[in-house]
């Protein structure tokens, strides 16, 4: 999709303030919503041009060669970003660097203005010692700069590097620039001259984002009766194997999560509520976490769908992410309905989500940066707790599997030769027509509309029970 909206989010902040974490989270969020987004890290260009084996003095302002080399790296990143906007017709770019002086920010703003690109500065400020320690640990452990050094050398080098920045750092006070300042991982915000719908959506995400590494856990419901029968959708109860998983789940959660305080989120369907019934934690039931609505195919097996709706069966294999069942949903629709859930999730730590294969695929894809094309084929096995540790430089995944057998509901992506045979059997015109019962959405259009005139407000109603143990999230309207 071509759009005349072009925004560069320019990071600002001292080292170890969560800039890269914030930039990557914003990039994943927007890309997950179908908005063409890319991140450009000056540090990556600096490593490509000058390597990783550089001393802390490279970042000393009194080192003229180091200053020149760093400016060359920033210029290379900026030129790559401008080229991406022009050639790839990108919508939002993240320019990840310290941008620690008024002069450097003026240079970037001037270059972007010349190319008719809006600039949104995002500054991360942190003087909370606990949060700062977490950020430093993340950088020292995961930064590509330090993969070849021992722990003691890393700590000494990074401390020296940070000292070189603190002496000349200038926080954002430019009243004529658009910026958002995040203080201590979201305890306070300063927002200046934000305008436009997409800029406002980005800022809305930022003020919901707690800029520190975090873990989440999730599991599919236990094996259901419909799983055993190879039927999709429905509101079936657990099978005997699924009930065994529900009984074992408290011990499995204890093993993977330990003694952390925990809140459990489930869908409103029986199989997730039954799976979570033995967990001794507060629970919330969210309508938005329900399984993908299969419309007229609800309760059918795939063989039955292939026989009764052959065109639909073929069309879904053609584009599984964008295919929408008649009277039901597509994966694309599920992503949009989950967006308020993701906002809520960003504000909390220690959440265990018990939901469904399609729903969890969408959440998993957000954290693991999986494309829309590959999202419907992500493996989310039954009777397994997944842990995702979201960090600045990626996401670490762990699996905790229960020793309880379950059916395998995974359907691999069809081969190109298979799809070609289907096209020949059914005819190209059938696959591309609107005559079949379901439809395929336009993949070039973003999931979140870029214009407020075509975006319907999605508000969530919440009901809290008298025992204060269950919170039921109503339908997303």
Active site residues: 96, 221, 291
Which 3-state string (H, E, C) describes 422-472? Answer: HHHHHCHHHHHCCCCCCEECCCCCCCCCCCHHHCCCCCEEEEECCCCCEEE
CA separation for the pair 10, 109 (Å, rounded): 9
CA separation for the pair 365, 342 (Å, rounded): 12
The β-bridge relationship of strands 92-96 and 37-41 is parallel
Residue 204 makes CB contacts below 8 A (sequence gap 6+) with 343
Answer left, alpha or beta for residue 242, where phi above 0 means left and psi between -120 and 50 means alpha: alpha
The sign of the torsion formed by the CA atoms of 53, 55, 61, 65 equals negative
CA separation for the pair 280, 282 (Å, rounded): 7
Q: What angle do CA 34, 40, 44 make, to 5 degrees?
A: 135
CA separation for the pair 271, 228 (Å, rounded): 13
CA separation for the pair 28, 47 (Å, rounded): 23
CA separation for the pair 219, 404 (Å, rounded): 14
Residues 194/178, Cβ–Cβ less than 8 Å: yes
Q: Which residues in 13-130 belong to E strands, given as ranges?
A: 37-41, 92-96, 118-125
Distances in Å between the Cα of 300 and the Cα atoms of 90, 222, 227, 233 are: 41, 20, 11, 8
Residues 96/108, Cβ–Cβ less than 8 Å: no
Q: Whose CA is closest to 122, among 102, 82, 161, 95?
A: 95
Q: Whose CA is closest to 381, among 246, 222, 225?
A: 222
- 384 DSSP β-pair partners: 401
Phi, psi of 240 (to 5 degrees): -65, -40
């Amino acid at each position: 999709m071509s759009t005349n909206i072009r925004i560069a989010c320019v990071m600002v902040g001292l080292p170890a303030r969560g800039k890269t974490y914030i930039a990557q989270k914003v990039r994943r969020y927007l890309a997950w919503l179908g908005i063409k987004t890319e991140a450009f890290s000056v540090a990556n260009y600096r490593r490509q041009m000058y390597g990783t084996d550089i001393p802390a003095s490279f970042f000393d302002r009194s080192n003229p060669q180091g200053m020149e080399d760093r400016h060359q790296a920033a210029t290379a990143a900026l030129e790559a970003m401008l080229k991406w906007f022009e050639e790839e017709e990108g919508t939002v770019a993240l320019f990840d660097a310290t941008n620690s002086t008024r002069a450097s920010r003026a240079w970037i703003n001037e270059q972007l203005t010349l190319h008719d690109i809006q600039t949104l500065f995002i500054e991360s400020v942190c003087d909370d010692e606990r949060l700062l320690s977490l950020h430093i640990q993340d950088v020292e452990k995961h930064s590509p700069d330090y993969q070849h050094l021992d722990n003691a050398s890393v700590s000494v080098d990074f401390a020296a590097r940070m000292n070189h920045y603190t002496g000349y750092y200038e926080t954002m006070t430019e009243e004529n620039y658009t910026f958002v300042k995040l203080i201590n991982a979201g305890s306070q915000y300063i927002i200046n001259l934000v305008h436009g719908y997409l800029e406002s959506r980005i800022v809305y995400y930022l003020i919901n984002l707690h800029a520190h590494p975090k873990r989440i856990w999730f599991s599919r419901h236990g094996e259901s009766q419909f799983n055993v029968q190879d039927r999709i959708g429905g509101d079936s109860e657990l099978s005997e194997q699924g009930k065994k998983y529900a009984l074992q789940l408290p011990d499995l959660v204890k093993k993977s999560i330990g003694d952390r305080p925990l809140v459990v989120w489930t869908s409103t369907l029986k199989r997730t509520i039954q799976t979570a019934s033995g967990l001794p934690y507060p629970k919330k039931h969210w309508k938005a976490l329900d399984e993908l609505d299969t419309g007229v195919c609800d309760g059918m097996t795939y063989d039955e769908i292939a026989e009764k709706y052959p065109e639909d069966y073929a069309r879904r294999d053609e584009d599984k992410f964008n295919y929408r069942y008649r009277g039901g949903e597509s994966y694309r629709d599920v992503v949009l309905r989950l967006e308020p859930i993701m906002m809520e999730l960003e504000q909390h730590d220690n959440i265990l989500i018990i939901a469904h294969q399609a729903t969890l695929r969408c959440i998993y894809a957000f954290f693991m940066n999986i494309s829309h094309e590959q999202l419907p084929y992500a493996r989310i096995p039954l009777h397994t707790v997944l842990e995702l540790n979201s960090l600045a430089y990626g996401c670490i995944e762990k699996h905790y599997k229960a020793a309880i057998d379950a059916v395998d509901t995974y359907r691999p992506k069809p081969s190109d030769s298979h799809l070609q045979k289907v096209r020949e059997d059914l005819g190209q015109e059938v696959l591309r027509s609107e005559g079949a019962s379901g439809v395929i959405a336009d993949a070039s259009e973003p999931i979140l509309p870029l214009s407020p005139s075509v975006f319907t407000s999605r508000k969530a109603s919440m009901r809290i029970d008298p025992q204060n143990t269950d919170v039921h999230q109503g339908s997303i309207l």
